Structure 1
């Protein structure tokens, strides 16, 4: 069974405007002042976790050149260009159908391109644990991060667990008010939803067919074009017809097979100027 990493890099990073713009969003910027774009850091983090993994990037068509520039190691055939933004469920479905075509027994990690995780070793341990769990089961595993503050900008996962353990998810919670977030922090059984998902290709296909059949119908049509001269035209024509929906709403909140791997390493989605300043000690809005 081969492991695949799908990096989602299509967002416009609007919360960090004007630093992040539709012309060059945050995942293609060196926001931490380390000489590397966030996409590059994500690639290197997962490469360290599994040097044999097969990498894919899903991005908007207008950003493909950034991906080639930042991660030239990833073959062009594994850079998937979305002709229209349809949220994360169609994005993930496209990648999983492409993987399924060549690796029907694949194990897959799906991740955003723009997180900050300083402890690569602890991160790698968590990823390998999740991959081992999904390789032999029908489970979906999401990564939950132990909160260190009552953050109102993240979704939460309710699942009383010890760090390092994989347990069944009781519920997903929307971004809370400060009062509710304080309650989650005091409770100890809630985790930040990092937006990192692990599953095998058969599991996610089954879940999508059950909960998002419209998207799957389009993917089945696209599958006929994979590897042919007409693939790009087919994606351009059919992908925009997909229902616009997140993977959270399409699958995660409906499936009965969702687990969380509880992690206690440092993590941030770098979604605000304050988050960047907390890490770098510098206000990115000032030169």
Structure 2
């Protein structure tokens, strides 16, 4: 049986301002109505698999869980990495977890942020690799290149294993343009997709042989797992001590059992805006537009308009991205350099580096629609049945006005129900909570006032999401 292992970490800085540190690209619907993570899981529909195992970090745990629930997948396991340690340790956690659950499945290791246009072809290629993995081979899927790409690592094939697989001769780093042309002309090289198929036990055997330090650290970390709602928490201290290394360096370049299976299924890692433009539907002028866009004499450009009209005149090869709190304008050939902007925002501690204006929480979301020196206005949406933590603030008071739905409010020693157009006032220092007891979303306006309005002015006493 195949166990899909979906690597859902990463920050997606090259797609800012769409992607933020707390809401990276794998959780965004970039190429369809489903998010990249959801598409990764859905494309496995034609394969016989176990429920997926996701690996992500603490900040993204509720995003991952909610997006699985939206697909009616209630039994996905989600391992939380206390810190990022690259792919070799992450896959080791998945392999150890599978064995602890009494199984030795084939691990189908996938990135959560790849686009594959031909899902049927992808599933067929995976099925063709199953016998090799069952025999103990460590299979990697090499993308058949269609251009001399310099942004990917490559895999050189060796002797035939069968009609559809080759011994891995060499992993090579990202080449310069001339070298990439020679790779393409030779027909012996594939793009390194970062997707794999192998038995859990075989991976651990190879990892123990070549990187016993990673093996031991991960074994110790997973041996002290703690269930927490939808999540599996591991020993933080043990995992922090684990070396940082990729599966390529730690295992695949050292093993004698690495096999590459070619994959030609419209793959794209959507690593930047130029790549996103390639996979989006384009008009007769080579333009890809989302949202409210008006264009005159515009060619080969991508305009993503979130909440306002964006108009272009006489432009070519541009990327224009409008979100509620930021606008990016870049030449398509320079769009990879958006990371430099992100680094500036990070250095300056700008909130736009970390969050969107609209911030998602396990109970719903809030949108900061206005703010000033001593006030902030938020539009808050609470999902049916959800409840915010029982909390208090040292520096701010809050006014809540219900727009629609029903709010169950704890305000000090009082508990009240509020409906449309009703409101309540919560003074500084008063313990309070907000819950939606109804069957429809609760919408309310919150007006905060006080000397300090930061999100860290929250003292939690109770929280059903484990944040207290």
Q: Which has the higher strand share?
A: 2
CA offset at residue 219 of structure 1?
Answer: 2.5
CA offset at residue 262 of structure 1?
Answer: 1.0
TM-score by length of 2: 0.57
- Shift in CA distance, 201/54, structure 1 to aligned 2, threshold 3 Å: same
Q: Which residue of 1 aligns with 2:54?
A: 57
Query: Could you report, residue by residue, the CA deviation over 1:149-197 in whole angstroms, capped at 9, with x for unpaired residues?
Result: 0001111110166997111010011111111000000111111111101
1:133 maps to 2:168: no
CA offset at residue 57 of structure 1?
Answer: 0.3
Decide whether the 8 Å contact of 1:8 with 1:112 is kept in 2. yes
Q: Which residue of 1 aligns with 2:85?
A: 86
Residue 186 of structure 1 aligns to a residue in which SS?
helix
Partners of 1:40 and 1:15 lie apart in 2 by: 20
- Shift in CA distance, 163/224, structure 1 to aligned 2, threshold 3 Å: closer
State the structure with bigger RCO (CA 8 A, min sep 6), 1 or 2. 1
- Shift in CA distance, 262/237, structure 1 to aligned 2, threshold 3 Å: same
RMSD: 2.1
Q: Which residue of 1 aligns with 2:354?
A: none
Decide whether the 8 Å contact of 1:162 with 1:262 is kept in 2. no
Q: Which runs of 5+ in 2 are unaligned?
A: 283-287, 289-301, 305-319, 323-468
Query: Could you report, residue by residue, the CA deviation over 1:30-70 in whole angstroms, capped at 9, with x for unpaired residues?
Result: 111x2110000000012x13243331000011101111111
Decide whether the 8 Å contact of 1:59 with 1:82 is kept in 2. yes
Decide whether the 8 Å contact of 2:125 with 2:263 is kept in 1. yes
Matches within 5 A, 1:7-46: 7-32=6-31, 34-46=32-44
Partners of 2:265 and 2:67 lie apart in 1 by: 26
Partners of 2:257 and 2:51 lie apart in 1 by: 25
CA offset at residue 76 of structure 1?
Answer: 6.3
Partners of 2:7 and 2:218 lie apart in 1 by: 18
Matches within 5 A, 1:107-126: 107-126=106-125
Counterpart among 67, 77, 80 of residue 64 in structure 2: 67
The more displaced of 119-128 and 11-20 is 11-20
TM-score by length of 1: 0.92
Q: Which residue of 2 aligns with 1:150?
A: 148
Partners of 1:234 and 1:156 lie apart in 2 by: 34
Query: Could you report, residue by residue, the CA deviation over 1:104-146 in whole angstroms, capped at 9, with x for unpaired residues?
Result: 42111111001111111100001111223211x1210000111
Partners of 2:3 and 2:167 lie apart in 1 by: 23
1:167 maps to 2:188: no
Decide whether the 8 Å contact of 1:15 with 1:271 is kept in 2. yes
CA offset at residue 223 of structure 1?
Answer: 4.2
Q: Which residue of 1 aligns with 2:256?
A: 256
Partners of 1:77 and 1:264 lie apart in 2 by: 29
Aligned residues, how many? Answer: 282
CA offset at residue 212 of structure 1?
Answer: 1.4
Decide whether the 8 Å contact of 2:226 with 2:233 is kept in 1. no
Decide whether the 8 Å contact of 1:60 with 1:85 is kept in 2. yes
